[in-house]
Structure 1
Amino acid sequence: MQHFEESVYKLIVETSTNLPGDVREVIQAAQEVEDSATRAGLSLSTIATNIEMAENNVSPICQDTGMPTFVVHTPVGANQMIMKSQIRSAIARATKDGKLRTNSVDSLTGANTGDNLGPGTPVIHFEQWEKDDIDVRLILKGGGCENKNIQYSLPTELEGLGKAGRDLDGIRKCIMHAVYQAQGQGCSAGFIGVGIGGDRTTGYELAKQQLFRHTQDTNPNNELRQLEEYVMENANKLGIGTMGFGGEVSLLGCKVGVMNRLPASFFVSVAYNCWAYRRQGVLLNSASGEIKEWIYPSGTGTPMKLKSAEAAVEAVAEHQEESREIVLQTPITEEQVRSLKVGDIVTINGEMHTGRDALHKHLMDHDAPIDLNGAVIYHCGPVMMKDQAGEWHVKAAGPTTSSREEPYQGTIIKKFGIRAVIGKGGMGAKTLAALQEHGAVYLNAIGGAAQYYARCIKKVNGVDFMEFGIPEAMWHLQTKGFTAIVTMDAHGNSLHANVEQDSFAKLSQFKDPVFS
């Protein structure tokens, strides 16, 4: 087993940096359905550009490399303690090499371990089987989509759908509601794994196990096959679209599994995964630990034949009446912001500052380390690497889910004179009111496009609050050509609220029974 650790390291790197071929094919099909001259079409073109950049740069597709979760099948007699130790070593090495973001934090203190190791991280599930080889599978599921996981206890009442009973039709309603409630916050269009039955814990485990299935497989259970086909046919009628911008494609895959349950409990658990569907596996020789084959089709040599993001920006601006292309240099004035409206495509040049949960909480009661009047705050936890000269470089820098900052954002905008906030998934009524009152704007970047946005960052000007850990620190970044879409403006308009309202109205068409 002298090659086991190296094989696991290769698995981690491949999973983080290169989407499998079956996932690429699904995204390609989505692009063919979506009108390229729409915000959703622009999003898919940016996603395609990002996928190729990540492969070419051997860098993370998305900066949020999530909670590494391994499922390992071993022959009888294999030493699982040694395997666990070597998996942990491979995780630490991949983190040091910038293939994983430092994501493991103490739940009580918030302190970042810096190596992705700690109690419960990474997650490793061992199972014995009768085969001679070792099967190691890994999924990297980011926090944004993990937060959109949902579990239902049947019977229940679902908004827009009515009563969901303890039957196949009740399960159907739960799945449709799960897609609706995710909106764009889980980096749609996404994939879902569904677990029927079990208890609260095993139901979620079963749901996540479904995400290891091939995108084009067929469920051997006829009822579940029909359910999967129904969801794929109808979930896209909700009109949520890529990034929640509205559009034809809201869901890219649905896989359902079932297990027995207690008579008193009936759980339907849904694991939502973003478009950056990072899962891969290897079959290893049990004697040497060398890789015999890759479980999922390799994405290498499978180019995304999609329109470039730059061409897509031009197409949207040309064909969408509500869209304009606008270039802004930081610091931004109130007059510039109030001239913007929902649908405008904005390109930012100049310095912007990252800020996530720890920074927003801190700024509520403290001064900022720099002048933020007219500034841009980017909801981002980048992957950073320091070179031999001690200079920091951005390896991946896509947006994080903005809704977590809703309790703070409005106050901070007004307190410090911030004129623009960049993130993904939109924000709520309190932030929208602050944008209107103060004269600020929310810009939606494309979730998961960590390589696409990293190339827009030309220099790291400095950093504050490193004690919060690299993802939560306040990085001061010099940018050029950073493009995002106005989805909440200073006039009280919110694209996110409009899409959610529209999709809720469409949800009611699925209220009537389908499966008897």
Structure 2
Amino acid sequence: MRKFEDSVYDLIVETSTNLPGDVRRAIAAGRALEDKDTRSGLALATIAQNIGMAELQVSPICQDTGMPTFVIHTPIGVNQLEMKRDIRQAVVRATRDGKLRPNSVDSLTGGNSGDNLGEGTPVIHFEQWEEEHVDVRLILKGGGCENKNIQYSLPAELEGLGKAGRDLDGIRKCILHAVYQAQGQGCSAGFIGVGIGGDRTSGYELAKKQLFRKADDMNPIPELLELENYIMENANKLGIGTMGFGGEVTLLGCKVGVMNRLPASFFVSVAYNCWAFRRQGVLIDTATGDIREWLYERGSGITVGAVAAKTPPDMDTPEAENSGERAVQPAAAESSAAVGADTAGGAREIRLTTPISEEDIRRLRVGDVVILSGEMHTGRDALHKYLIDHESPVDLSGAVIYHCGPVMLKDEEGWHVKAAGPTTSIREEPYQGDIIKKFGIRAVIGKGGMGAGTLQALHDHGGVYLNAIGGAAQYYAECIKKVNGVDFLEFGIPEAMWHLTIDGFAAIVTMDSHGNSLHADVEKDSASKLALFREAVFK
């Protein structure tokens, strides 16, 4: 199969940059249910635009391209060792070309291989079958949603839902709880795959395999079809909403599979996937290695709303009202702070230029849409750990820290940002409050919110948490105008501290300096709604 490596490379590029048609239709259906004048409506509008931008630019939809996971069926007699070598080489090429972010990290040293190769990466599962062609399927599942996977061992006592037994009703409770515990940290609205039975390993594998099903298929097992429909109807009543902002659309798809189990074990495994549901597959000719057929409808030409424009309209113009778009890209502010008119949904639009004063920060309230310009610095796990015991290489007084591990490429002109959406912020909770206090940081940007320690530090030292739209890597990359420099490149590209000039970077205040947290409010509200399903019975 001389062309097999090229075919795998094409599969990787398509999966990373172009959402399949079934996923796009699910997002469009969800968007139709959400009021466009709400925070979740704004998020879905930005998501829709980002999907179109990624396709147009052939760039990653989300900067976290996950751990490439291949499931491959081969005829008897095909050399799987050669196929594995070709797959690894295709992964290296895709990483070098900026279609994959280098995500393979040594678990002991913390070193990044830089090419997505390492012990256990990429993940490749081979199975033989009696067909004459090769079936290759790929899923790119980012770390934010991977961290929200969860496994239950029944019987169990579940928060808000009480006892979950070894029956369909207990399984129902587990799935609802899985959606609740994810909140906005898995980039909702999302998709879930559920595996019933097996052991701890095979249960998770079964759950992930459900994610390869098409979003609009029908489960052949009547009991599971009924369960899937029940979850889709009722999980969206929890009010978690897109990005955890509250709203009507929390779940876009639910697929359930079942296998036998040990008498002593009853596992329910849930694989959570964000809205950027990147999976694709191809049938390969065993003689040549050419692609014979794409297994999922390719997304080109299937819109999720108004996604053609590269930049969204200004909120304050009639065009914005007519288009339904609420993603914001206003001109750079001339002063350090400028307050625009209220949006149609009642939220204020406020423009800030870094460095930001404490006075400007104290004026902000949860729900404000902030438009940032100036310099911003990225920082993730490795940097936060470092800054606890060391000084910063740059002055962070009045600065903005962005929880982001971008996709970066370097040429003779320097570094360029290829994708730059937010990462899940809660991982930095052990460090964030101390770093805000130590360096005088005024704003932290990420997704999913942070905890009580950070909220207290924002109150005490004058800061805000800004929630960017998870997965919108192309939308935010457009706002980055220049790479000013980089520190700690030895941490790896995702973990390095990138210094970036931004213009028109839009995010929503979800934790302010007055002790208010939208994330805490939504979680409390969804917990009360979850409890309403405690006594419901599913048989």
TM-score (structure 2 length as normaliser): 0.94
- The corresponding residue for 2:392 is 368
Aligned counterparts of 1:261 and 1:21: Cα–Cα separation in 2: 35
Aligned counterparts of 2:35 and 2:122: Cα–Cα separation in 1: 40
- The corresponding residue for 1:235 is 235
Matches within 5 A, 1:38-77: 38-77=38-77
Q: For residue 82 of structure 1, report the CA deviation from its aligned partner.
A: 0.3
- The corresponding residue for 2:331 is none
Work out whether residues 343 and 349 of structure 2, in 8 Å CA contact, stay in contact via their aligned partners in 1: no
Aligned counterparts of 2:50 and 2:389: Cα–Cα separation in 1: 38
- The corresponding residue for 2:453 is 430
- The corresponding residue for 1:319 is 344
Q: Which amino acid aligns with 1:49?
A: Q
Q: For residue 512 of structure 1, report the CA deviation from its aligned partner.
A: 1.5
Work out whether residues 246 and 522 of structure 2, in 8 Å CA contact, stay in contact via their aligned partners in 1: yes
- The corresponding residue for 1:190 is 190
Matches within 5 A, 1:463-502: 463-502=486-525
Aligned partner of residue 348 in structure 1, secondary structure: strand
Work out whether residues 441 and 488 of structure 1, in 8 Å CA contact, stay in contact via their aligned partners in 2: yes
Work out whether residues 156 and 164 of structure 2, in 8 Å CA contact, stay in contact via their aligned partners in 1: yes
Aligned counterparts of 1:305 and 1:160: Cα–Cα separation in 2: 36
TM-score (structure 1 length as normaliser): 0.98
Matches within 5 A, 1:370-389: 370-389=394-413
Match of 1:339 among 346, 363, 368: 363
Q: For residue 23 of structure 1, report the CA deviation from its aligned partner.
A: 0.4
Aligned counterparts of 2:314 and 2:204: Cα–Cα separation in 1: 38
How many pairs are equivalent?
A: 514
- The corresponding residue for 1:447 is 470
- Residues 1:397 and 2:420 are matched in the alignment: yes
- Residues 1:79 and 2:76 are matched in the alignment: no
- The corresponding residue for 1:286 is 286
Structure 2: segments with no counterpart, 5+ residues: 327-341
Aligned partner of residue 68 in structure 2, secondary structure: strand
- The corresponding residue for 1:417 is 440
- The corresponding residue for 1:460 is 483
Q: Which amino acid aligns with 2:275?
A: W
Cα deviation 1:290-333 (Å, max 9, x = unaligned): 00010000101212323778448556642333x10000000000
Structure 1: segments with no counterpart, 5+ residues: none
Work out whether residues 61 and 473 of structure 2, in 8 Å CA contact, stay in contact via their aligned partners in 1: yes
Match of 1:407 among 415, 430, 439: 430
Aligned counterparts of 2:461 and 2:439: Cα–Cα separation in 1: 11
Q: For residue 388 of structure 1, report the CA deviation from its aligned partner.
A: 2.5
Aligned counterparts of 1:304 and 1:32: Cα–Cα separation in 2: 10
- Residues 1:359 and 2:386 are matched in the alignment: no
Q: Which amino acid aligns with 2:213?
A: R
Aligned counterparts of 1:374 and 1:311: Cα–Cα separation in 2: 29
Aligned counterparts of 1:289 and 1:452: Cα–Cα separation in 2: 35
Aligned partner of residue 91 in structure 2, secondary structure: helix
- The corresponding residue for 1:102 is 102
Q: For residue 509 of structure 1, report the CA deviation from its aligned partner.
A: 1.1
TM-align CA RMSD: 1.0
Q: Which amino acid aligns with 1:111?
A: G
Cα deviation 1:361-382 (Å, max 9, x = unaligned): 0000000001100000000000
Cα deviation 1:331-363 (Å, max 9, x = unaligned): 000000000000000000000000000000000
Aligned counterparts of 1:305 and 1:272: Cα–Cα separation in 2: 24
Aligned counterparts of 2:494 and 2:198: Cα–Cα separation in 1: 35
Q: For residue 411 of structure 1, report the CA deviation from its aligned partner.
A: 0.2
Aligned counterparts of 2:166 and 2:241: Cα–Cα separation in 1: 30
Aligned partner of residue 67 in structure 1, secondary structure: coil
Aligned counterparts of 1:356 and 1:38: Cα–Cα separation in 2: 29
Aligned partner of residue 355 in structure 2, secondary structure: coil
- Which has the higher mean CA deviation after the structures are superposed, 298-307 or 146-155? 298-307
Q: For residue 513 of structure 1, report the CA deviation from its aligned partner.
A: 3.7
- Residues 1:168 and 2:144 are matched in the alignment: no
Work out whether residues 28 and 306 of structure 1, in 8 Å CA contact, stay in contact via their aligned partners in 2: no
- Residues 1:297 and 2:297 are matched in the alignment: yes
Q: Which amino acid aligns with 1:205?
A: E
Q: For residue 401 of structure 1, report the CA deviation from its aligned partner.
A: 0.1
Q: For residue 387 of structure 1, report the CA deviation from its aligned partner.
A: 1.3
Q: For residue 515 of structure 1, report the CA deviation from its aligned partner.
A: 2.1
Work out whether residues 45 and 312 of structure 1, in 8 Å CA contact, stay in contact via their aligned partners in 2: no
Work out whether residues 190 and 252 of structure 2, in 8 Å CA contact, stay in contact via their aligned partners in 1: yes
